[in-house]
Each structure stands twice: as C-alpha cells, then as structure tokens.
Chains A and B, each alone.
Chain A
C-alpha cells in the first residue's frame, strides 16, 4: 500500500501527515507514506483543496484533516 499526502506545506498538511504516520507506526503497518509538496505534482491529481490523501493513486480525502477513524478506514483497519 502506498499513501501520499498532498499539500504545499501548510500546517493542516503537516498535521495530516503526522496523524497518518502515527496510526501506521502504532499498528506496525507496511505502508509507504510520502509527502508531496511540489505544486506541479499535486496538480496532477486535479484537486482543488489541500490537504489531500491519495491511497494507491486514488484520492480518498481532500480539503480536510482526517480524524483517527477516517485514517483507520483508509488503512483498512
């Protein structure tokens, strides 16, 4: 599984990244988590609001910081 957090580096994007990272570590999951800050790269996903979370190249969340339950759903927990 591969997860990308899209966002040009604002607070909300960092919060999102950290929240997902925490759940992954806590559950010892084998997930590749990356942060995408380059705007050209972000715009390839055709989103209009950041932060966005992409799971295996599919946009799952956009424009908000997900809560723990939503993150667990994303990770299939």
Chain B
C-alpha cells in the first residue's frame, strides 16, 4: 500500500521516469520515510499504552518491596526499554531508584537499557533491517543491560557515587510514596497517549528524513563491497574500532540506522555494524555529563568501560554466528 502510494507520487504526480536513478532513489526515500514514520508512531503508541498502566513509579515500588533473586535485573531491562527515554530524565530516574533502596546494579541495568532499547531504535531497525535483525538487537540489548548491570553491581561501586546521592541512599525507603492509579477510562486516555506518540515522531522527524536521505543517496554512489576492505569480519580489530569511534559520537538513533544500513549493504559485517550502533545509541558524551551529577568520573569511566566491552563481545559473537 505504501509502495503503491510512493510509486504514484514519484512516477505519476512528479512524472519521473521509472528507470531513472533519481526517480528510483526518490521512490525509495519516500517509501522508507513513510514506512518508518508509521512504524514509529505505532510502536510509541503501544509503549505509551503500556506505560500508562505501568508507570515507572509502580515498577520502582515493586522492585523495592520484593525480593526477586535476579528477576529484578530482567524487569529493569524490560522497563528500561519501554520507558520513553530522554537523556535529561536519566538523573531523576537514577535518584528515584537509589532512594527506593533498589540495588545499584539493577539501577544501572535500567540506565543501560533505557536509551539502547527505545521505541525509536526499534522502529528504525524494523524499518531498515527487518524483523530478524530487530529481534536480535532487542534480545541482545536486553541481555547486555542485564549482564552489564549485574557485573557492575558485583563491583561494589557505591562508594563512587556523588556524596549527596549517598546521603539520599541512606534516607531511602523513608518516602516510598503511594502510587495512585489513574481512574480515567481507557478511551479517554487514548487521545493523550496518541498525542504524545505523535510528539515523539515529530521530535525525530527531521533526523529520520535526513538519515534516510543520506542513506538513499549513498546507496547509489558508494561502490559495492567498498567498506569490506577496511572492516571485514576477518579483521579482529574491526569491532573494537567501530565501538571506539562510536562512543563519543552522539547521533540520534533515527538518523544513524539508515546510514549504517548502507554500510552493511556495502560489505561491513552485521556484528560490527550492530556494535557500532549500540555504542552510538547507548553511550554518549552528553549522557556522561548528565551522569556527572550523580556519579564520580571514576564510576562513569567504569560504567562506560564495562558496557563498551560487552558491546565489543556481542559484536564478535554476531560476526561469528552470521558469517559461519
């Protein structure tokens, strides 16, 4: 349906030739943009509905009042993915968890998963790479957050939190406020949720369009197997190099995925590409500066180091499974 719409607009409305390079590129661009925007809206809507019924306060109260023997890591990763992420929310969330008496490891799991598995990342992956790669990304992102949080939790890093956070930790449990369920019926809440989903789409629209635009252009002009020479699966340093390049980069997930898709089409191994995207999406300098308010540099360094190492490991793992 979207395809026929794109065909109609490009070939009939604009009157471009179906065999012209520009026509094909424009068609691809239009088709991909519409598909991804619809996907993003729909996924945000689903996540918004889940969020309306299980807000983050509820999860916090649940985690702090139950002993879960490891399941808490899973829940933290899961909810990290569902909760809409904004890097400026990470600090209040962090403090909220710490105050609730939730272990540091579980809190960090949430902090890793939140940007890594987001509605934007899922929609972009689904739209550009298809279902299989998306599932691999979601599952490995969730596992990585759980393992990362678990390892960091075992390292006894509480002493590297900022002083005022330590104080907050001591006062924990004192103010476990009661969570009030909203009584508004579902149908009345739906318009608000839909409006917020549209807000998410609107916020990243420009990045989606630019990313797909660059991707569509590159497809036509970068020679086949162009990147293979530099970053093939046989080069052991391919994955760490990709991660090293990506951590300081701060690109919107929306913009980077369509571009990386071209890299994969032109010969970069999928594992290297996934590792690259995970580091871009999951770790960034702006996030580090936000975290500085609650952590010492040392803890931020350990946090980024452990997560980077895990991303490198999963990159190798994917390359191993997808090339053999």
Q: Which A residues are closer than 8 A to B by beta carbons?
A: 7-13, 39-40, 42-43, 46-50, 63-65, 67
Contact = CB atoms under 8 A, between A and B. Distances in A.
Contact of A43 (B168, B177, B195, B199): B168
Contacts, number: 51
Given A48-B57, A48-B60, A49-B56, A40 B164 contact: yes
A64 B88 contact: no
A13 B97 CA distance: 21
Nearest to B175: A46
Interface in B112-133: none
B196 interface: yes
Contacts of B293: 39
A48 B88 contact: no
B223 interface: no
For the residues of A in contact with B, the DSSP-based class is: loop
Nearest to A59: B177
Interface residues of B, number: 26
Contact of B86 (A12, A40, A46, A67): A12
Contact of B88 (A10, A65, A67): A10
B60 A39 contact: no
Nearest to A11: B203
Nearest to A52: B92
B91 interface: yes
Contacts of A48: 56-57, 60, 92-93, 95-97
Contact of B89 (A40, A49, A65, A67): A49
Contact of A42 (B86, B92, B177, B196): B92
Nearest to B96: A48
A50 B164 CA distance: 20
